Amino acid sequence: MPNVKDASAGKPRPRNFIEAAIEEDLSTGRFDGVHTRFPPEPNGYLHIGHAKAFLIDFETAEKYGGKYNLRFDDTNPIAEEEEFVDSIQADIRWLGYDWEDRLFFASDYFEQLHEWAVKLIKDGKAYVCDLSADQVREFRGTLTESGTESPYRNRPVEENLELFERMRKGEFSDGAKTLRAKIDMAHPNMNMRDPVMYRILHASHHRTGDKWCVYPTYDWTHGQSDSIERVTHSLCSIEFEDHRPLYEWYISQLGIFPSRQIEFARFNVSYTVLSKRRLKELVQAGHVKGWDDPRMPTLSGMRRRGYTPEAVRDFLGRTGVSKSMSVADFSLLEHCLRDDLNRRAARVMAVLRPLKLVIDNYPEDKTEELEAVNNPEDKSAGTRKLPFSRELYIEQDDFREDPPAKFFRLAPGREVRLKHAYFIRCESLVRDEENGEVTELHCSYDPDTRGGEAPDGRKVKGTLHWLSAPHAVRAEVRLYDHLFLKPDPDDVEEGKDWTANLNPNSLEVLTDCLVEPGLAGAAPGSRYQFLRRGYFCVDPDSTEDKPVFNRTVGLRDSWARIQKGGESCGQVQRP
């Protein structure tokens, strides 16, 4: 097979180990095609780690002209909701993947799974056990000691069949009994020590309602669902490697289509957590404002923050496929995002912390329109008109009364350029009488410098963005930063947990910002580059009277800077 192209870099890359295994299966005739699946549990929102997994599933199938399924592992009615089913489908479609008509649910197979469980009971390969969950764990033994057989392990087949049927009818309370596979309590792999196949849960299911009160475990559901769908290659994260013998044992005992399980390393990103349990804790404890909070690594949170699907796919493609645990550097994700937004985002001016500026020698009743380029990277984006008047707003930090060395912006007596407009000089200032802070600047302008160039050839070192005071639109801006203070959130002092590393300044809300008049009524999801400030996205909280913008990412690119210096920070290997 020829090498495939890495879309992020445009260079050929060697086969990964999954592709090598698939090509061997195709060449030996083990399978005559490739069919994969992505099996999320609908108990939360997808995060970028899940995105890596379904990218591997879907793109592997696409490479070999195969098919891929979306199958929900809905075997735990206590934790699963239709909201999560809907959000998972929306996130996968947002990233650009389409499972066509191959949408399935594990609950589709509950009857077949039950029939197969009955078959194993009849074959003497499964039994009903009365041990409690704690007793099952105790009897299982340890990594160095064999387990102990359940006293119910050798129940007669007919008794097991009767008890299992009574379990299904709801005659027993939750946890009173389980159905277990009869394998080997001395097996070196603890997953093979009579694993639980069914447990009793008197809970309503989001699809089957109250039809069932016994629900299959994931280990019992996984391989059989793959086989029913004739999945050839069941691609899983590395923690399922020890479960593979059980996956194969069930398929072998039932004599059904022999799907093959292959494992890859879990995906991690610095400055965040990718445990669904921890993400749920962040939401429930109020550390964030829901699953789609722009600080969350969920795909819905990233979308709300302004990430593009192209940037996310680029990032995931660059991180490769491995069996070794690694951590992708968050700065690489931001680099991919800047690279994409630089091409597509319109340039606009916004003043986040306004300082009033009056041009004393500009006519009071005059307003003119200046032409501004929408995106220098995209000539087809065209230009727009900006209103310019006597009273403007600039950023507070673009003025210093006593400027330090290498400060080239506005200061008393200094001349600077206003972007797309004129040269101005600061002549005087106004202070607040109570605290002495500068509240207003008075300047003069050179009318011969319209467009930002002086006919006499004089140069200025500073160029500022600005807004016309009478035309500016008031806006709220939310400045997001890393949710955690350290690259590894688990890097904490003894006695503390990962939440000790939460960043108290991960969100700063500015309510008195100003933006160009053309941004009034901008649609949620619209992306812009605020000149000199970064990339921003319109939030769904926006109203007709007051738009809300989320900072997606700043302009400074630490990844590109480090790469230029000859270092690599894309993947940090973990032992």
Catalytic positions, written as ranges: 41, 266, 276
Both tokens assigned to 136: 């099952």
DSSP SS3 for 13: strand
Query: Which residues, 6+ apart, have CB-to-CB distance to 186 below 8 Å?
Result: 146, 147, 193
Q: Report the run of H or E that residue 105 belongs to, with start and end.
A: strand 103-105
Both tokens assigned to 312: 């996310």
- Using CA atoms, how far residue 535 sits from 152, 401, 468, 538, in Å, is 64, 29, 21, 11
Nearest-Å Rg of the Cα atoms of the chain is 31
DSSP SS3 for 8: coil
77: left (phi over 0), alpha (psi -120 to 50) or beta: alpha
- Please, which residues bridge with residue 13 across strands? 4
Long-range contacts of 236-245 (CB under 8 A, 24+ apart): 236/261, 236/262, 236/263, 236/264, 237/53, 237/263, 237/264, 237/265, 237/266, 238/263, 238/264, 238/265, 238/266, 238/323, 238/325, 239/266, 242/189, 242/190, 242/191, 243/191, 243/219, 245/189, 245/191, 245/192
Q: Report the run of H or E that residue 534 belongs to, with start and end.
A: strand 534-538
Nearest CA to 322 out of 271, 263, 240, 272 is that of 263
Q: Is 41 exposed, middle or buried (0-12, 13-18, 19+ CB in 10 A)?
A: middle
Residue pair 552/333 in contact by the 8 Å Cβ criterion: no
Residue pair 73/40 in contact by the 8 Å Cβ criterion: yes
Describe the crossing of helices 309-318 and 330-344 by its angle, rounded to 10 degrees. 140
